[in-house]
Amino acid sequence: MILIVNTTSDHSVTEELKEQTDSKGIKAEIIETDSMHISHCIGCNYCWLKTPGECSIKDDYEIILKKIIHADQMWIISDTALGFLDHKGKNIYDRILPIATMYLKFKGDQMRHVPRYESRTDVGIIYKGEPDAEYLKRWNERAALNFESRSLGVFKTDEIKEAVSCMC
Amino acid sequence: MHVLIINGSPRVKAFSNTDKILEQFTKGMAENGTTFEQYEVSDKKQWDAMRKAFAENNNILIALPLYVECIPGLLIEFLETVEKKADDTRLAFILQGGFAEGIQLRCGEEYLKILTERLGCTYAGTLVKGDNFSIRFFEGEKRDKVTAPYAAMGRRYAQDGGFDSEECRKFTGPEVFPAPVRLLVGFMFKTLAKKGFRSMATGWGCTKPLDYKPYM
Q: What is the pLDDT of residues A52-97, one digit of tens each?
A: 999 999 999 999 999 999 999 999 999 999 999 999 999 999 999 9
Q: Indicate the helix (H) or strand (E) that contains B182.
A: helix B179-190
pLDDT tens, chain B, 216 aa long: 999 999 999 999 999 999 999 999 999 999 999 999 999 999 999 999 999 999 999 999 999 999 999 999 999 999 999 999 998 999 999 999 999 999 999 999 999 999 999 999 999 999 999 999 999 999 999 999 999 999 999 999 999 999 999 999 999 999 999 999 999 999 999 999 999 999 999 999 999 999 999 998
Give which of B70, B103, B121, B135 to mutate to test A binding, by max A Cβ within 10 Å. B70
Contact B70 A139 (CB under 8 A): yes
Q: Tell me the CATH number at A24.
A: 3.40.50.360
Is there a contact between B109 and B70 (Cβ–Cβ < 8 Å)?
A: no
Interface of A with B in 82-111 (CB under 8 A): 82-88, 90-91, 93-94, 96, 101-106, 109-111
Q: Which residue of B has its CA nearest to A132?
A: B114
SS (H, E, C) A69-113: CCCCEEEEEECEECCEECHHHHHHHHCCHHHEEEEEEEECCEEEE
Choose among A106, A116, A138: nearest Cβ to B182. A106
pLDDT for A38 equals 98
Between CA A131 and CA A139 the distance in angstroms is 12
| DSSP secondary structure, B132-181, as one string | -GGGGG--HHHHHHHHTHHHHHHHHHHHHSSS-SHHHHHHT--SS--HHH
Other C-beta atoms closer than 10 Å to the C-beta of B173 total 13
The residue segments making up the domain with residue A77 are 2-164
Identity of the amino acid at B103: I
Between CA B1 and CA B155 the distance in angstroms is 12
pLDDT for B87 equals 83
Name every chain A residue with its beta carbon within 8 A of the beta carbon of B114. 82-84, 132, 135
pLDDT for B196 equals 95
Name every chain B residue with its beta carbon within 8 A of the beta carbon of A54. 214
Between CA A159 and CA B65 the distance in angstroms is 33
Give which of A111, A116, A121 to mutate to test B binding, by max B Cβ within 10 Å. A111
pLDDT for A67 equals 97
Between CA A102 and CA B193 the distance in angstroms is 10
Q: Bin B95: left if φ > 0, else alpha if -120 < ψ < 50, else beta.
A: beta
Contact B189 A110 (CB under 8 A): no
Between CA B105 and CA B41 the distance in angstroms is 21
The dihedral formed by the CA atoms of B110, B125, B54 and A87, expressed in degrees to the nearest 10: 20
Question: Closest Cα of chain B to A40: distance in Å?
Answer: 6
Contact A50 B119 (CB under 8 A): no
Give exposure, B54-90, as e/b (b: 16+ Cβ within 10 Å): beebbbbbbbbbbbbbbbbbbbbbbbeebeebeeebb
Superfamily the domain B2-171 falls into: Flavodoxin domain (3.40.50.360)
Q: Who contacts B77 (Cβ-Cβ below 8 Å, separation ≥6)?
A: A40, A87
Choose among B70, B200, B211: nearest Cβ to A84. B70
Q: Decide if pLDDT at A168 tops 90.
A: no
Name every chain B residue with its beta carbon within 8 A of the beta carbon of A132. 114
pLDDT for A53 equals 98
Contact B114 A111 (CB under 8 A): no
What total of structural domains would you count in chain A?
1
Domain with CATH 3.40.50.360 in chain B: 2-171
With an 8 Å Cβ cutoff, is A25 touching chain B? no
Q: What is the pLDDT of residues A34-52, one digit of tens each?
A: 999 999 999 999 999 999 9
